Amino acid sequence: MAKLIKDSKDAFQVLELIFKDQDKDGLWEYINDNFGIAIPRKAICEDHNAPFDFVADVFFQKVQNAIALANRTGGKTTDFAILDVLNSYYWPECETATAGAIEEQAKKCYGYFQNWINNIPIFNERVLDLLMRETKFTNGSMVQILTGTMSGVNSPHPQKAFLDEIELMMWNIIQEAFSMPQSKGEILGQLILTSTRKFAFGPMERLLDEAEERGFDVYRWCVMETIEKHDPEICRKSVFAEDCQGRCLECNGYLKLEDVIAAKMRLDKDTWDSQWMCKRPSQKALVYPQFNEAFHVKKTKVDTGAELILAEDFGFAEGHADVVGFFQVKPSGRVSMVDEIWIEGKTDSDIITLVEDKIIELGFIPDRYKDKKRTDADLRRLLNLAVNIWYCPIEEPSKIELRRRAGFNVTAMADADARKVINGLPLVRKALQDRIITFDPKCKKTVKEIKIYANKVRADGTILDEPAKKNDNGPDMVRYFFINHFPAKQAGHFQETKSDEVKPITSGIADVTF
Ligand SMILES: [Zn+2]
Ligand SMILES: [Zn+2]
């Protein structure tokens, strides 16, 4: 195609034609000829896309909101820089804001962008002003490449908002970007996010999880889509063989086999699987890695003849829901969480009413009482009787008092050691590991949080042995259930150190690891 392009006018008309025909092959050639970059155009894994599918769909405006999950060195930053150039070249008065999570990322993107618009004549002759903060083109288009935040862009509503490596961005910055892009004439407002995925509790996993309801198209690729066609003999004898599975000659990327092998040898399996194969987020830093939906989430039949136990984590404000869990314990010691209430901004009397409604909904009240008014003494007696015990945190005695006044048997663990988060976790871990606890699918929010409840991670990647105060509403409630219902000593899960010294009831728990 390059041979057909005689001058810059031709070059523009060719791109115009490509766009009008949505000619994918033409676009690939155009990028290859002008930028010298052969973006991999073949999907190798069954459920993955070719990186070029993503670039083409974004340029052709086939997607409005999109997320690309890619491997390390998967070409995301280059793709954005190419789109920055092409969009500004093609559209008049198109504003693009590209943000990298960290400065290095933004600089790398700008480096590519600057190099191309300086050195490729068809683009260069359209540049008015070249600065990282703001590059202006003769057609009125503008590109801003920033670090970390979108709040610094001059145009608060660019047509193209690109966020690179969102795994490293704060959730509020990502959210800020949601309302940014605005269409203008034929130029579609687009919000495009890319990242590797590191942690199960990270922003990338959260967005992938919410992609459908937020209206995002998802693209995925991994090292298989980005590695070069390579020698099957060398591959077969290497650590990469189990990943490649003989697809060596199908590959058409750019990563060198020896570099990929070297990367794999440097990394642990968990990191390799999450950041290079894009299989699943890292399980590192999870507080409950023992949790597995396949056997911990199970439909449960409520036994209305048996005891019903409640555990509550108080809450009110947004993001700090009040959570009530409904539990049943079999004589064998098996625990089922049968239902949950998650509610924000409600008073104690509202919550008590919701609990009472749930008791009725679960079938604990005989039919003939159901229609009576809540104040009816018989109904109240039955509601109170249905709940064997209601566990609450001790820190808010007035809330406990209100539940008691409504006639419920409320109790709270008083032992300060047992109440420490670090001392409660082993009880829950043990129960998960021994598979003595299951959650009914109705306990959706509790399950969602237990899955991603994570320890604090320092900026340098060090994982602390202390849960972050995030996604902890459900997990706290479950922990209250365990510290109250199966206090460490009574449950006999832990061996006491043999000593004549008087030890607190929970001694030794903190030393137990699973
Ligand atoms: Zn793949
Ligand atoms: Zn291979």
Tell me if 496 sits within 8 A of 503, measured CB to CB: yes
Q: Which residues surround ligand 1, an ion (CB under 5 A)?
A: 45, 48, 222, 224-225
Any domain includes 285: no
Any domain includes 282: no
Residue 491 has pLDDT above 50, yes or no: no
> Closest by alpha carbon to 482, among 313, 348, 286, 363?
313
Any domain includes 287: no
Distance 433 CA to ligand 2 centre (A): 37
Which band of pLDDT confidence, cut at 50, 70 and 90, is reported for residue 459? Answer: low
- The ligand minimizing its distance to the Cα of 250 is 2
Looking at the structure, tell me whether residues 420 and 322 fall in a common domain.
Answer: yes
Distance 95 CA to ligand 1 centre (A): 32
Q: Which residues surround ligand 2, an ion (CB under 5 A)?
A: 235, 244, 248
| Number of domains into which the chain is organized | 3
Q: What percent of the chain has pLDDT over 70?
A: 91
- Enumerate residues 6+ apart whose C-beta is below 8 A from 147: 99, 100, 101, 102, 103, 105, 106
Any domain includes 281: no
Tell me if 143 sits within 8 A of 88, measured CB to CB: yes
Distance 200 CA to ligand 2 centre (A): 29
Residue 512 has pLDDT above 50, yes or no: no
Which band of pLDDT confidence, cut at 50, 70 and 90, is reported for residue 503? Answer: very low
Distance 43 CA to ligand 1 centre (A): 7
Looking at the structure, tell me whether residues 256 and 349 fall in a common domain.
Answer: no
- The ligand minimizing its distance to the Cα of 43 is 1
Domain range holding 237?
229-275
> CA-CA distances (angstroms) from residue 434 to 296, 437, 481?
10, 8, 17
The packing angle between helices 24-35 and 76-90, to 10°, is 100
- Tell me what the mean pLDDT of segment 230-247 comes to: 97
**pLDDT: is 368 or 404 the higher one?**
404
Contacts 24+ apart (CB under 8 A), 316-321: 316/344, 316/345, 316/346, 317/344, 317/345, 318/344, 318/345, 319/344, 320/344, 320/473, 321/445, 321/473
Looking at the structure, tell me whether residues 119 and 187 fall in a common domain.
Answer: yes
> Closest by alpha carbon to 340, among 215, 475, 471?
475
Looking at the structure, tell me whether residues 304 and 442 fall in a common domain.
Answer: yes
- What CATH number is attached to the domain comprising 380? 3.30.420.280
Q: Which residue has the tokens 């041979």?
A: 3
- Tell me what the mean pLDDT of segment 65-81 comes to: 95
Looking at the structure, tell me whether residues 405 and 375 fall in a common domain.
Answer: yes
Any domain includes 288: no
Tell me if 145 sits within 8 A of 100, measured CB to CB: yes
What is the Cα–Cα distance from 192 to 397, expressed in whole angstroms? 48
| Alpha helices for 22-102 (secondary structure H) | 24-35, 51-59, 76-90
Distance 224 CA to ligand 2 centre (A): 9
What is the Cα–Cα distance from 394 to 352, expressed in whole angstroms? 17
Looking at the structure, tell me whether residues 202 and 174 fall in a common domain.
Answer: yes
- Tell me what the mean pLDDT of segment 188-200 comes to: 93
- Tell me what the mean pLDDT of segment 210-228 comes to: 95
Distance 397 CA to ligand 1 centre (A): 54
- The ligand minimizing its distance to the Cα of 50 is 1
- The ligand minimizing its distance to the Cα of 242 is 2
Which band of pLDDT confidence, cut at 50, 70 and 90, is reported for residue 154? Answer: low
**pLDDT: is 21 or 507 the higher one?**
21
What pLDDT shows up at residue 499? 38
**pLDDT: is 241 or 3 the higher one?**
241
What is the Cα–Cα distance from 135 to 260, expressed in whole angstroms? 35
- Tell me what the mean pLDDT of segment 295-316 comes to: 95
Looking at the structure, tell me whether residues 307 and 211 fall in a common domain.
Answer: no
| Alpha helices for 276-396 (secondary structure H) | 293-296, 348-361, 367-370, 377-386
Using a 10 angstrom Cβ sphere, with 0-12 exposed, 13-18 middle and 19 or more buried, the burial of residue 480 is: buried
Distance 310 CA to ligand 1 centre (A): 45
Looking at the structure, tell me whether residues 255 and 345 fall in a common domain.
Answer: no
Any domain includes 261: yes
> For the residues of 428-489, what is the DSSP string, one character each?
HHHHHHTT-EEE-TT-HHHHHHHHH-BEEE-TTSPEEEEE-SSS-HHHHHHHHHHHHHS-HH
What is the Cα–Cα distance from 308 to 103, expressed in whole angstroms? 54
Report the SS3 class of residue 192: strand
Looking at the structure, tell me whether residues 357 and 450 fall in a common domain.
Answer: yes
Looking at the structure, tell me whether residues 218 and 233 fall in a common domain.
Answer: no
Looking at the structure, tell me whether residues 150 and 241 fall in a common domain.
Answer: no
Distance 45 CA to ligand 2 centre (A): 13
Looking at the structure, tell me whether residues 309 and 202 fall in a common domain.
Answer: no
Any domain includes 438: yes
Distance 66 CA to ligand 2 centre (A): 30
Distance 180 CA to ligand 1 centre (A): 31
- Tell me what the mean pLDDT of segment 202-226 comes to: 93
What is the Cα–Cα distance from 24 to 6, expressed in whole angstroms? 22
- Tell me what the mean pLDDT of segment 221-239 comes to: 97
Which band of pLDDT confidence, cut at 50, 70 and 90, is reported for residue 6? Answer: low
- What CATH number is attached to the domain comprising 29? 3.40.50.300
Residue 507 has pLDDT above 60, yes or no: no
Any domain includes 84: yes
- pTM, whole model, 2 decimals? 0.71
The two tokens of residue 198 are 């590191």
CB atoms within 10 A of CB 361: 11
Distance 260 CA to ligand 2 centre (A): 10
What pLDDT shows up at residue 494? 37
Tens of pLDDT, residues 25-40: 999 999 999 999 999 9
What pLDDT shows up at residue 5? 59
- The ligand minimizing its distance to the Cα of 222 is 1
